[in-house]
Structure 1
């Protein structure tokens, strides 16, 4: 059950919404275009499972800004809800000017994602969203996990291409502990990472 589901909504503008403790995803966007979400305040305990803050599927031209998202799962999740592989893609996406606070897995692309462990061997990989032209810029803050960036991209699909990471400084909440980036089949550029 989603708190709010918007199906095939075009020119949607959602401003100033505050939601707390959704039993599942807070906001789900499916099949819309020209969507603007701003000044949102989304909150769930860090140990609450399956509480994506904003889930985007089959939508284009989505702009999220000036918002606070603290959820037990993905803050912003981009998913493929197509029945067959090859139909889903995520491209031309920018994550900029973001401050993180004690986040687990802050920057994550996982084309092997399989909820509830219900996928057959290789099933998640075959239906992976095709990912390209993704920018992470001016992201700072702290993480509870050692992997500040993890790109886990498929060998079956084209994987992840044209990923640009610039001015990212994510440090551990444990003083002196090092964070790292791990990339599997991801292609792109990095500049000024982990100052």
Structure 2
């Protein structure tokens, strides 16, 4: 009886240990540290090849645990433009960035290969991508504001954030291009207010994208959604300086563009040039529809709310009978101050393709001096409800 009890206890303990070992083995990642592939991390030595080789090994790994390319803390890695291409063997690929990336400081020293310096670092066709950590990307764009720091393209089920920092991109800091099911959170982006074309995050041709808990201050749009994006949710954002959160510009050169099912909420604009903006070119085709801006707080913002169907960024633009249709746009629970003495809300729509079903519900924007701000309306149809400051008498 004693031997039987002992044996039962022994086998029970053995089973528990086996299960713990199995759980630990399956939950841990197979790690590919860039230092093991020759990276130095002193900010001077070119570590491009080391990263390329580490990625090749990570992407090719068929380990039952999720392979991880690890960028260690306490190091600064000088890298030339890099493309991390898939598809990869594993369903989930982890890139853990605790160290810092730094780009070449002079435009003439960028070794761009085939990509013409359009992107500094890009991930393409990598489903199940997870990019996280407390590292940073320093694009050193002060000498030339052109090119993009990080692009993730043509992928499904992407997660990025958890403390990543972007600084001084040559152009756009983070591009989400042709993604399905992407989640970006807890990211900070910083560039001088005077830096041209330095969008914080650009969303293009994406479906089901969530961006939240992010701080952005740049010389252009904090977040810009351009053609072909739908089901985009943006929340808990601090924007400023910058040109606001924009849908567009859309329809340039007569192009066909769409944006729909967009939700922007719980955003604070601080010293931004613009706030919530929709901008389309004359002559374009397509639509912007089912858009919601809610719980927005403006502090000293230049143009808090804009719909502009006559957007033009150069001197010679013409009007057209064709325009992108803007319909079913709602602004709800909007509060704050405008630094412009007159116009806080500008709705400038086409006579031939007017804006329809535009709704304002509980809006209270005053001038920074405490005076009631004004509004401008042209060819816009909809209604205003609840608190109405400014009055918006063009909407019934």
TM-score by length of 1: 0.87
Greater Cα shift, 98-107 or 66-75:
66-75
In the alignment, structure 1 segments of 5+ residues that lack a partner are: none
Matching residue of 1:139: 334
Change (3 A) 1:95 1:110: same
Higher relative CO (CA 8 A, sep ≥ 6), structure 1 or 2?
A: 1
Deviation (angstroms), 1:126 = 5.2
2: distance between equivalents of 1:80 and 1:169? 29
Matching residue of 1:35: 209
- Aligned residue pair count: 185
Deviation (angstroms), 1:127 = 5.9
Match status 1:57 vs 2:231 = no
Matching residue of 2:348: 152
Greater Cα shift, 126-135 or 102-111:
126-135
Deviation (angstroms), 1:69 = 1.1
Alignment check: 8 A CA contact 1:3 1:27 kept = yes
Deviation (angstroms), 1:108 = 0.4
In the alignment, structure 2 segments of 5+ residues that lack a partner are: 1-170, 255-282, 391-396
Within-5 A mapping of 1:39-188: 39-44=213-218, 48=219, 51-58=220-227, 59-81=229-251, 83-84=253-254, 85-119=283-317, 121-122=318-319, 125=320, 128-145=323-340, 146-156=342-352, 158-175=353-370, 177-188=371-382
Task: Return the index of the structure with the highest Cα Rg.
Answer: 2
Matching residue of 2:183: 13
2: distance between equivalents of 1:111 and 1:162? 15
Deviation (angstroms), 1:26 = 1.2
Alignment check: 8 A CA contact 1:15 1:37 kept = yes
CA RMSD of aligned residues (A): 1.9
Deviation (angstroms), 1:110 = 0.6
Deviation (angstroms), 1:12 = 1.0
2: distance between equivalents of 1:63 and 1:72? 20
Q: Deviations over 1:8-55 (max 9, x none)?
A: 1111111111001164211111111101000010013xxx4xx01111
2: distance between equivalents of 1:71 and 1:162? 31
Alignment check: 8 A CA contact 1:18 1:40 kept = yes
TM-score by length of 2: 0.44
